[in-house]
Amino acid sequence: MSNKHKLIIPTSTEDEMIGHGIAADPDTYELTTPEFLQLKRVGRPPVENPKVQLTVRYDSDVVSAFKAGGPGWQTRMNDALREWLHGREKV
């Protein structure tokens, strides 16, 4: 880990000073336990057909061809696979 990304943990004295600074800030508001429990998760809403994460290996020329199209190459690869899937004869 480089020094640029080194995590520096405050000492207990520094942590206490930080706490006093937070408490002295008139714009700081600490939630009560009931308020905290009422919070709702923020993030993407659930989707009907979520993506599945997996690890696969493709030939480098195939990946290069999709990446050459710029951002969104994974979506384009997914669309190409879907097109192939829908173009197949039903067995």
Q: 11-39 pLDDT, tens per residue?
A: 999 999 999 999 999 999 889 999 999 99
Residue 31 lies in a domain: yes
Percentage of the chain beyond pLDDT 90 is: 70
Residue 1 lies in a domain: no
Residue 2 lies in a domain: no
Domain count, the chain: 1
Residue 3 lies in a domain: no
Residue 81 lies in a domain: yes
Q: What is the pTM of this model?
A: 0.49
* Res 2: pLDDT: 59
Residue 72 lies in a domain: yes
- The whole domain housing 72 covers 10-41+50-87
Burial class (CB in 10 A: 0-12, 13-18, 19+), 3: exposed
